[in-house]
Chains A and B, each alone.
Chain A
Amino acid sequence: MFGLRVIGHSLLWIGFLSASVGMVMQRELDLLPVEERTALLELPADFAVSADLATQVTGKPWIELDSEQFLAVLQQSLAPTTPAPADEAAANVQEAPQPNPTTDSVEPATEPAAAPKLNKTSLIQQRTKRVASLWPTVNWFVYGPALVVGIVGVVLLRKTAQKSVDVEFARTTGLDPLRQSLTQLIAEVQQLEGQMPGMTPESVVAYIDERCVEHCNSFADQREHLKSAFGLIGFGEVMSEFASGERFLNRVWSAAADGYMEEAYRSVQTSLSFFQAAQRQLDRKP
């Protein structure tokens, strides 16, 4: 069975990793024609071009250009005469119908608002909108089979999980460690309840820190065994009582630290009743 679990884990993670690779091994621009993709990839990282340039040159926006037109306009925008980015916005507004940024002068009196800029990413987005469907961005031929491998791994893991817990459960003498923690905890809380009328607030706080917290943590750390013994619903029933008991024990701590000993006393009784209810739930299983 150990071998089956190792195989289950291996299949799950191999499947997950392979499917992840299939999920991210392509980008949207990889669906563009090769020349267009190559031209876009070669653009410098700080590339910026007027959003209106395509319209000014061809009468059509970037998204509507066919590959040939797009490459021609892109080439034009990359021409060495293109002004420096800082001056580009001012220069671009003069580019109609056949722009020549270096010779067109800026006339402030007639200057319209500068056209927005497209950077490399936004230009790629504009062009990928031409692709009929972007779903092939994920390589489903890798992703699909890999996911199936992962699912087989999950099936194996789930089939062997219960047996594995049962073996571990038997090996660790079932619910005994849990029962022991809870019994010791109840004994300590009962003692606290009995002694509290004569205790100082400081000693109540110290008592909980030193004699109760460890038993609480010990029970909580082993709580997974409850699932094996009772199933998820039974696990919830035991833990619900235990957690309420622990929370009221924390209330005893707070009330004592603040000097409200009557509240601390009431809360220790409530805490005890919850822990005892948890014990009764636990005792349903021999």
Chain B
Amino acid sequence: MSAPKPIGREQPGGIRIKTGEYPELTWTAIFVGWAIGTLLTISVAYAALILGFSIEGSELAAILGWGVLRGLMGRTSIVENNINQTAASAVNGASAGIMFTVPALFILSRNVGMESVADFTPAYVALLTLASITGCFLGLAFVIPLRKQMIDFDRLAYPGGMAVATILKSPGAGIQKAQLLFAGILISGAVKFFLLRSHLEEFDLGSAAGIPSMWNLVFYLSLMTVGVGYLSGRGGLWFGAGGFLCYFLIAPILQYVGSPGVQEILPTPGEMRKNLFLPSGIGMLIGAALGGIIMAFPLIRSAFKSLRNSNQRFAGTQTNDEMPLWMLYAAVGLGSIALIVLAYLSVDEMTLPRAAGMALLGTLWIWVAGVIVSECVGRTNWSPLSGMTLIAVTILILIAKAGMSAPAAIVSSITVGAAICLAISQASDMMLDLKSGYLTGAIPRRQQYAQYLGCWLGPLLVIMLMIALNNQYEIGSKTLPAPQATALATVMDGILNDNVPVYRYAAGSGLGFLLAISGLGGIGVLVALGFYMPFHIVLTYTIGNLIRMGSDAVFGNSFAHRVGIPVAAGLMIGEALVDVGNALFRIGSQLFAGGA
């Protein structure tokens, strides 16, 4: 029997033809993903405690994986590096999920009568870790079936996923695209470096032009934001529309019809946002998501049908793209039961019905919030994770506080709340990675396994890091201010004292629902996000949208693919790299100063 005819021929000095299996889901990729993910997670989690923001790990993991897998190990597989970044960013998903929630226990423990809430016994640490890992598994099980709807049918942009794909494909994309990508990285990095050195964050065009401060004409100085807006394109304009509605239409109207209390804060856009638009925006996001789910029900049904067909049609072959549905159902079922048990064990005062109530409502919220956050990240690259966590903790405390002491209510709510926050964080990261997988031709099932293989490690690392840091420096102190957890602790305190603006959530959700059922595809979530986000970011993002629309109109759509997208991806990556470098520099300086 003769050997099969070889496919392809080599060009002298060109790409070398390799035989054998195309490496994708390999243990090398997973181990490198764990290693890069560990590095990223420790840095990002530490930075989150000091600076209050988290950094998406996918792009950095792709770049580092590019260096390690290709540069050091001589491995040349785009889809293998995609698995590496999937696993690494899954590890890093715990940074925000835990650091935005659990440190609130340390902060609240300094209140009189609350000392016991930060009693991190080995048993509680084990329970918290298990709850967090359960949350990760639940979030993934809920969001995986939505891949078809969000990526295949709706073709959401996922600007972060596009940037990752651009990095992954850069070795084969030709010299021109690689040059454009690196030019974008250099320009954006240099600009960010200059802005950091000059302590410039925004440009107040309104003040410069003598426009009243109510109009909030302030631009966030960030080429990354322009790049994200460019990658989102015309579809992202509704996000801007939400912000414009708030400050260009509603605020001027309030000048005439607003109450004295509202008139007082009109000149201060930050107060306007905090008091009026932010809580309304959270409500709108919820309403828009619920409306969106109802409207997309036939598509979701079609996606499930397609998943079932795929499982049957291609069972056991490479073409079988999807994780078996029974595995996802099992993950949801077992995860829900585990969450009930963990909630029950979290505090002595917990009763089984209350634990079941908290866990089941929490599980339901994971699905709703997972959809909201995945869609927001898909359309704009911004994730309302903290808002969704806030709602989760509000729901949990409201259930817990009726019949339990305040410390018990706090501990149980944070335990389940951390699981929910991690679930939402994993859900949006999974969808972003699946988009980069789509663009590089990855097999979704393999990426989904890689995400599961990566997500358990993050909670272990971050919880240990958090306890070690608290023992060394005390979370909530000047050294480790933990801004997000401090904000959550304040809100929790407010919830315990019945201080939740449910009326604005309710009114907002009505409006979000209205837009979602209008049939004007996807605008509900976008307009809601425009209400929710700071307007200076929205304004700069809109510039990116307009540049894309202009370039499409003048140079055609292909220009964006040849030139615009590599540059925009570079703008995102350059700023992220300088941000991480700056965070590490600040942490190092602080440690050095502390040690000295």
In the bound complex, do residue B17 and residue A201 qualify as a contact, i.e. CB atoms below 8 Å apart? yes
Q: Which of A137, A198, A235, A258 contacts B22 (CB 8 A)?
A: A258
Smallest distance from the beta carbon of A75 to chain B beta carbons, Å? Answer: 20
Question: How many angstroms from the CA of A16 to the CA of B280 in the assembled complex?
Answer: 13
In the bound complex, do residue A27 and residue B262 qualify as a contact, i.e. CB atoms below 8 Å apart? yes
In the complex, per-residue mask of A180-223: 1 if CB is within 8 Å of any chain B CB, else 0: 00000000000000001111111011000000011001001001
In the complex, per-residue mask of B143-157: 1 if CB is within 8 Å of any chain A CB, else 0: 000001101110100
Q: Which residues between 528 and 579 of chain B lie within 8 Å of chain A, taking CB atoms?
A: 557-558, 561
B497 proximity list for chain A (CB < 8 A): 129
B5 proximity list for chain A (CB < 8 A): 197
In the complex, per-residue mask of A75-87: 1 if CB is within 8 Å of any chain B CB, else 0: 0000000000000
Q: Determine if B590 is an interface residue (Cβ-Cβ < 8 Å).
A: no
Smallest distance from the beta carbon of A145 to chain B beta carbons, Å? Answer: 13
A154 proximity list for chain B (CB < 8 A): 514, 517-519
Q: Determine if B172 is an interface residue (Cβ-Cβ < 8 Å).
A: yes
In the bound complex, do residue A24 and residue B8 qualify as a contact, i.e. CB atoms below 8 Å apart? no
**Range, interface on chain A:** 35 or more
Task: Please give me the residue from chain A that is nearest to B78 by CB atom.
Answer: A254
In the bound complex, do residue B257 and residue A200 qualify as a contact, i.e. CB atoms below 8 Å apart? no
In the bound complex, do residue A27 and residue B171 qualify as a contact, i.e. CB atoms below 8 Å apart? no
Task: Please give me the residue from chain B that is nearest to A124 by CB atom.
Answer: B261
Question: How many angstroms from the CA of A137 to the CA of B501 in the assembled complex?
Answer: 9
Q: Determine if A262 is an interface residue (Cβ-Cβ < 8 Å).
A: yes
B519 proximity list for chain A (CB < 8 A): 154, 157-158, 161
Smallest distance from the beta carbon of B243 to chain A beta carbons, Å? Answer: 13
In the bound complex, do residue A236 and residue B298 qualify as a contact, i.e. CB atoms below 8 Å apart? yes
Q: Determine if B258 is an interface residue (Cβ-Cβ < 8 Å).
A: yes
Q: Determine if A41 is an interface residue (Cβ-Cβ < 8 Å).
A: yes
In the bound complex, do residue B438 and residue A260 qualify as a contact, i.e. CB atoms below 8 Å apart? no
Given A24-B280, A263-B22: A157 touches B520 (CB 8 Å cut-off): yes
Q: Which of B6, B78, B254, B301 contacts A258 (CB 8 A)?
A: B78
Task: Please give me the residue from chain B that is nearest to A24 by CB atom.
Answer: B276
Q: Determine if B260 is an interface residue (Cβ-Cβ < 8 Å).
A: yes
Smallest distance from the beta carbon of A12 to chain B beta carbons, Å? Answer: 6
In the bound complex, do residue B299 and residue A30 qualify as a contact, i.e. CB atoms below 8 Å apart? no
Q: Determine if A163 is an interface residue (Cβ-Cβ < 8 Å).
A: no
Given A244-B321, A260-B77, A265-B7: A217 touches B557 (CB 8 Å cut-off): yes
In the bound complex, do residue B514 and residue A129 qualify as a contact, i.e. CB atoms below 8 Å apart? no
Q: Determine if A134 is an interface residue (Cβ-Cβ < 8 Å).
A: yes
Question: How many angstroms from the CA of A15 to the CA of B8 in the assembled complex?
Answer: 62
Smallest distance from the beta carbon of B295 to chain A beta carbons, Å? Answer: 9
In the bound complex, do residue A204 and residue B250 qualify as a contact, i.e. CB atoms below 8 Å apart? no
Main secondary structure of the interface of B (DSSP, over half): helix
B319 proximity list for chain A (CB < 8 A): 270
In the bound complex, do residue B261 and residue A26 qualify as a contact, i.e. CB atoms below 8 Å apart? yes
A22 proximity list for chain B (CB < 8 A): 507
Q: Determine if B79 is an interface residue (Cβ-Cβ < 8 Å).
A: yes
How many A-B pairs with Cβ below 8 Å?
243
Smallest distance from the beta carbon of A189 to chain B beta carbons, Å? Answer: 14
Q: Which of B148, B298, B506, B510 contacts A232 (CB 8 A)?
A: B298
Smallest distance from the beta carbon of A236 to chain B beta carbons, Å? Answer: 3
Q: Determine if A255 is an interface residue (Cβ-Cβ < 8 Å).
A: yes
Q: Determine if A7 is an interface residue (Cβ-Cβ < 8 Å).
A: no
B557 proximity list for chain A (CB < 8 A): 217
Q: Which of A104-112, A171-179, A245-253 is the contact stretch? A: A245-253
B149 proximity list for chain A (CB < 8 A): 236
Q: Determine if B275 is an interface residue (Cβ-Cβ < 8 Å).
A: yes
Q: Determine if B440 is an interface residue (Cβ-Cβ < 8 Å).
A: yes
A220 proximity list for chain B (CB < 8 A): 155
In the bound complex, do residue B172 and residue A254 qualify as a contact, i.e. CB atoms below 8 Å apart? yes
B507 proximity list for chain A (CB < 8 A): 19, 22-23, 138, 143
Q: Determine if B18 is an interface residue (Cβ-Cβ < 8 Å).
A: yes
In the bound complex, do residue A251 and residue B79 qualify as a contact, i.e. CB atoms below 8 Å apart? yes
Q: Which of A28, A38, A236, A258 contacts B299 (CB 8 A)?
A: A236
Q: Which residues between 280 and 316 of chain B lie within 8 Å of chain A, taking CB atoms?
A: 280, 298-299, 301-303, 305-306
Candidate in A21, A30, A233, A266 with the most chain B CB atoms within 10 angstroms: A21
Question: How many angstroms from the CA of A260 to the CA of B318 in the assembled complex?
Answer: 16
Q: Determine if B403 is an interface residue (Cβ-Cβ < 8 Å).
A: no
Q: Which residues between 106 and 159 of chain A lie within 8 Å of chain B, taking CB atoms?
A: 125, 129, 134-135, 137-138, 143, 147, 150-151, 153-154, 157-158
In the bound complex, do residue B76 and residue A259 qualify as a contact, i.e. CB atoms below 8 Å apart? yes
B155 proximity list for chain A (CB < 8 A): 220, 223
Q: Determine if B471 is an interface residue (Cβ-Cβ < 8 Å).
A: no
Q: Determine if A54 is an interface residue (Cβ-Cβ < 8 Å).
A: no
Q: Determine if B352 is an interface residue (Cβ-Cβ < 8 Å).
A: no
Q: Determine if A243 is an interface residue (Cβ-Cβ < 8 Å).
A: yes
Question: How many angstroms from the CA of A234 to the CA of B183 in the assembled complex?
Answer: 44
Given A161-B519, A255-B441: A199 touches B9 (CB 8 Å cut-off): yes
Question: How many angstroms from the CA of A235 to the CA of B11 in the assembled complex?
Answer: 43
Given A244-B321, A249-B441, A261-B17: A20 touches B250 (CB 8 Å cut-off): yes
Given A205-B172, A235-B153: A24 touches B277 (CB 8 Å cut-off): yes
Candidate in B9, B16, B497 with the most chain A CB atoms within 10 angstroms: B9
Task: Please give me the residue from chain B that is nearest to A248 by CB atom.
Answer: B441
In the bound complex, do residue A258 and residue B18 qualify as a contact, i.e. CB atoms below 8 Å apart? yes
Given A200-B8, A202-B15: A17 touches B518 (CB 8 Å cut-off): no
Q: Determine if B469 is an interface residue (Cβ-Cβ < 8 Å).
A: no
Smallest distance from the beta carbon of A265 to chain B beta carbons, Å? Answer: 5
In the bound complex, do residue A233 and residue B302 qualify as a contact, i.e. CB atoms below 8 Å apart? yes
Task: Please give me the residue from chain B that is nearest to A241 by CB atom.
Answer: B306
In the complex, per-residue mask of B9-28: 1 if CB is within 8 Å of any chain A CB, else 0: 11100111111111000000
Q: Determine if B442 is an interface residue (Cβ-Cβ < 8 Å).
A: yes
Q: Which of B18, B151, B510 contacts A260 (CB 8 A)?
A: B18
Task: Please give me the residue from chain B that is nearest to A23 by CB atom.
Answer: B507
Q: Determine if B499 is an interface residue (Cβ-Cβ < 8 Å).
A: yes
A256 proximity list for chain B (CB < 8 A): 8, 15, 172
In the complex, per-residue mask of B508-530: 1 if CB is within 8 Å of any chain A CB, else 0: 10110011011110000000000
In the bound complex, do residue B151 and residue A243 qualify as a contact, i.e. CB atoms below 8 Å apart? yes
In the bound complex, do residue B302 and residue A23 qualify as a contact, i.e. CB atoms below 8 Å apart? no
Q: Determine if A240 is an interface residue (Cβ-Cβ < 8 Å).
A: yes
In the bound complex, do residue A27 and residue B259 qualify as a contact, i.e. CB atoms below 8 Å apart? yes
Q: Which of B17, B253, B299 contacts A21 (CB 8 A)?
A: B253
Q: Determine if B195 is an interface residue (Cβ-Cβ < 8 Å).
A: no
A243 proximity list for chain B (CB < 8 A): 148, 151-153, 438
Report 17 cross-chain contacts, Cβ distance below 8 Å, ordered by A residue. Answer: A16-B511, A20-B250, A20-B511, A21-B250, A21-B254, A23-B280, A26-B258, A26-B259, A147-B510, A200-B10, A201-B10, A201-B15, A204-B8, A243-B151, A243-B152, A248-B441, A258-B76
Q: 3 closest A-B pairs (Cβ-Cβ)?
A: A257-B172, A251-B441, A236-B302
Given contacts A24-B262, A236-B298, list 4 more A-B pairs with CB under 8 A: A129-B498, A157-B519, A259-B76, A261-B17
Binding site for B on A (CB under 8 A): 12, 15-17, 19-30, 37-38, 41, 125, 129, 134-135, 137-138, 143, 147, 150-151, 153-154, 157-158, 161, 196-202, 204-205, 213-214, 217, 220, 223, 231-233, 235-237, 239-240, 243-244, 246-267, 270
